[in-house]
Structure 1
Amino acid sequence: MRIRSLLLLVTTVIFVPGFLAAVMAVQKVREGERTAAINGLRETVRASALLVDVEIQRSIGALTALAQSDSLREGDLHAFYEQARGANRPPHVWTLLFDEDGNQLLNTLEPLGTRLPSVAKERVQQVLDGGEPVVSDLLVGPVSGKLLTSVYVPTKAWNGKRYVVAHAYALEHWRATALQVENGSAATIGVIDRTGRFISRNVNADDTLGKPARAELVAAAASASEGLIRHQTLEGVDAYDAFTHSEKTGWTVAVAMPVSTVERSAIQAVQWLAVSGLLALGAGLLAAYYLGRTFMQVIDQASRAALAVGVGQAPDLGPTRLVEVNTLYDALAGAGRLLTQERQSREAAERERERLLARETALRETAERENTAKDQFLALLGHELRNPLAAISGATAVLSHQRSTPEAREKFLGIIQRQNRHLSHIVNDLLDVSRLMSGKIVLESRRLNLADWVTSCADALRTTEKAAGHKITVQADDVWVLGDGVRIEQIVNNLVFNSLKCSPAGSEVRITVRAEGDDAVLTVQDDGVGIGADLLPHIFEPFVQGPPPPGRMSSGLGIGLALVKQLVALHGGEVQAYSAGPGQGATFTVKLPRAEAGTLPGQRLPAPGAGARRVLLVEDDRDAMAAMSELLRLMGHEVVTARTRDEALAALDAQPVDLALLDIGLPVHDGYAVATELRNRAGSRTLPLIALTGYGREADRARALAAGFDAHLSKPVDPDLLARTIEQATAAKPPA
């Protein structure tokens, strides 16, 4: 048999059953694609319903938080109005408050105090009786005059009064959140309330919102939790329409897809099959004709090439009826073995290379992540510590100068004491890195005169190396705020240092403090390099920096302004940056809520003899014991010292004391064990115990309280805080 005849026979035998199989496969594909498209439609409608549920749950969470507001509990509608505005998602979601008679007490769509219409008392009573959140169907807002939906959440009874807080959703909000379709998609998505009217629809929305949906869709949705129907849409399009229900609202979410779109790919597949079948048949016949003529030449060439490859184990090739092919097999037998061995060796080497590469990649990614985390931590640590250290360094330089006056010494000694407390505050935050990186910084707020603190900060900054060659001017009016003085200093330091860094030598940095309405306004203005329009929206993001002044290297890691924004927000304020452009300088404005005027707590120790107590100090470090003993004596207390557990017990047996200060890190028996033993002794069960320790984490504080301590103070302790803690711990006990 000639090769040409065999090729024609093979072509025919292969093509006919293959074509028939392809026809069957296309039919299966057609059915499968239709099923997949419908399943995709169902998934889309479930996802859309989930979006509605997530949106409602988000609103319920925000309203639940408002329902527990202290301002609402105290009846302070002004404060509650501001909290309610913070829960808004403008411009299409706003907050309302109703009393139990259905009267609108406030509506963040209108200023507080505006006369508001009442709503049906039955709706509010339904929410209060049920005690659970309620979601409305479509209704017309009496204030906005628009179609909207509402979410109602009841409150507890505060002073005998019950309220209902609510979110009103304009229909534009549902269009933006519930209609999730890809660009160019032919799908029609609609949200239908329980009365059968459209809340949201992405096709012909202006004509269909608030109007009834197709009756067959409403009927199908009423009889099943989810399903699929084929019907005509409002536009007259034949479509598959999948529907389901929102669990939170009971609304129906429906997604319709034209039938032509669903079955388009299957029709195209049939057309391509017919064309490709004809082309394949023609190509097979031509190939058989031409290959038969040239196959002999190919065999001869392949035989000569295979014999040149070399000798080796040949593949197991059986004899054929074709003399030419048998000749080719004989020639390839020797080369086959060698090629097989080479291929196996190459595959083994490739697998080993891929394994090593994957391992190396994983190790490198792990190292990069760890290195990035380390760099961020070290950058934050260095930046947090550098500012107070600079102020301490400047104040120390003034104190050590021969020409410094007693007034200057007292003033800058106060700076050192304040910055020392600042460092202690920072160390307490950095002990729990995860808490600091997630923004969980606790403020120690009190009333303070912002002008005094800013002026004091400026005085300290003028002595630093960064301020050399610059002029810092302060114009401050008295204005009181409720804030953490350490964090206020940190805000001022970061803003001023940022201006100094971005300003040329000899330029002026201007600081002003003034009252503006209900706000205390702090501004820091410079004539430096300015901020470009592209950088200005991102200036308060971590690790974002502008260009340095000409001729100066860039410094810092770009976290100072990010910290300013976080700290200002913790104080309930806001910070903004303005610049006319590069080279035009920059102005940073901080607005903090004003507080009533008060007095700034001093840093002096209590007068000797005022509330004097006999104090047992247990401390194993001699220097720490000496310093703390002297501090307690200056406060007017009598001090009994001990370095170990045995010395402490002996001191208690020798004479009674009013209070015990215990270090946790004692030798042999730590402070926890000593506290537990004292609580079990008959003579010291009620003795006030204060832990004075370098362990400052929240877990250490909890452990100390569990061991029997009445209070936990972290080293170095603020003298005022120590005095207050001793006074509180011994308030109900007469001196020994």
Structure 2
Amino acid sequence: MRSSPGLALSLRRLLVLLSGISLLPLALLGLWSVHTASQYQQREQDRAMLDVARALSSAVDAELDGSIATLASLARSPAIGAGDLRSFYDIARDQVKAQPEWLAIILADAKGNILFRTTDPYGAAAGHITDPESLRQLLAVQRPLVGQVTRGQRGRVAFPVRVPIRDEAGRLYALTAVIKPDRILGVVKRQQAPADSIISIIDAFGSIVARSKEQDKRVATAPGPGLAKLMRDKGVEGTGDTVNLDGASMSSAFTRISRHGWTVAVSVPKPAIGPVSLKGITLYGWGLAASLLACIGIASLLSTRIARSFANLERGAAALGAGKQVEVAPSRIREVALMGRALEAAAAQHARHEQERSRLLASLEEALSASRGASLVKDEFLAVLGHELRNPLSPIVASLDLMDLRADGASLRERTIMRRQVNHLKRLVDDLLDVSRITSGKMQLDLRPLNLADVVYHTATSRPGRPVELTVPDTLWVQGDESRLAQVLNNLLSNAERFGEGATRVVLRADGHTARLEVSDDGIGMGPELLARVFEPFYQAPQQVARITGGLGLGLAIVRKIVELHGGRVWAHSDGPGTGSRFVVELPLIDAQAPLPAAEPVQATSGRQVLVVDDNVDAAATTAQILEQFGHTVQVAHTAAAALALCARHRPEVAILDIGLPDMDGYALAAAIRRLGGAPRLVALTGYGQKADVERAAGAGFDLHLTKPASLEDLERAVADSTAVMP
């Protein structure tokens, strides 16, 4: 028997009393306002410093561009054009005298050898370059650049500005102006920056060129670790707090928008809290603390009853969650009392269902997670496996082609067996790649008006092995992808050959507005269970341990997906085991189209200079031997660097490139070969064969894209003297 709780007060009345204590929210609002104002002031300071850094970066760029322009003007001197280095030396020496901050002008040849230095008499010993890396870079890229600030042999600090020049005979030179950092320091001093700020100009190699304070001490050294970390973390430009080399806290901003890769950093000391401000903040804190204590005392008195009631509810809720008996103590708060009785009423029902529901949800989530993970792993594995199998297939197919070209009669039977098995393996690889594209939604079609009768005729008559009884009309037009529809028929014919006996029957006809293709065999047939699942990936009919029919169970699944992407449908029919099978493909018909002009045959050529680049040594060697059998001169490289060296020396007419090279991908290598002016015809030979890969190869400048393993016809087309571009 429960005792009466007495007079019950509503929760609303208690909350009204508590809401009257408004000092705490107002105090928090005041603190938030102070904090917001401080943040705004900091943002404004950061923006101002960043604006100064950007303006200074533009000024430094202008100064460097001016030096480059002066050197470029000097490079147009008739003396250097005529190869008169003695006269050009005199002109350069006069130019140094006209530029107070220039220490010297240096002229070097294309090998990096110093021809003269204006600080030395003409013909004196050459000496060595203080910053050889920027000189090598200039000779490689042949465009103006700014080197690293360094301390020279004579103890003077300077940085080089270099421009490439050529004389009338086409000889390449490197013209360098050695400039004192004072020139950049002058730019810094002309800026209207705060007096207590520190401005640093840092070159592309991370060395300080100019600093508004302690220039002599800091020049040619690295910036402080705090500023260096800020520049690493923020990227192109940004602001943040740092500690300078003297240990002082700074607010810093930097920008790296310079065309020459230089960085401009501006730092100002973080403001300290003065005695007056500190006293005001202290008084505000004490007043706030006293107000908070008063509010807490009053709120504690009023909230005791609420806290006690809610503690009872908490214990009841905890018991309900644990499936135990719920007993809530009486409360003088009406709403809390009603909630307590509701908890007690729900406890019995909740105890019966909660444990079972939790177990079922956990099991379901675990099963779904395992299913998603297995599906993702399977798709990724199939895609990688299919690609990796193409690489060893390429030298195997090329070796067989090479033996065929040599007409070795003694190994004809063995080659025939190997060719048949390699073709089978290639078909399995293609099926793996196709099913991976299907499951990942990446299969794409190249739809165009197509005479389906021609596709069926050529596909059926070109297959070796079991005969095909073919019935096709002259024309039957659909909107389709020729290679994919040929793949559909090949997969159906392959299925009929594995499970059928005797000739396979292929019939193509129009059925209303639909093209109807039927492939029939008189083989083992199918039962109802197999018919229901025959188009599922990896599903196969029960077989003997020897697996006489072979395959992965992917061919028919690929057929269904290709047909559906064409807007058609496919199904299978059989009257039962031993009665044969019939597969029917239906595609929408379109209006008859004008016949396409016959493609001109590729003109075979011989005696061309060919470069083969592939990090697979076997694939490169066999491809080169086949091309040599065709009468071409072939050179082989296994890295991009070796390929570029061969292109520079021999200028091949055709370059056949693998895409996955160890030091540079084939797309970048193609661009580099184009810049060198070598190999007017570029061919990609790679295991990447999706439509996106073909489009990327075309965008990279390739004239032709071939997928490994390449046939003899593919290689003939690759080196043919043709202006044809990507298929």
Superposed pair shares fold, TM > 0.5? no
- Higher relative contact order structure (alpha carbons within 8 Å, sequence separation ≥ 6): 2
Q: TM-score, normalization: structure 2? A: 0.37
Q: TM-score, normalization: structure 1? A: 0.37
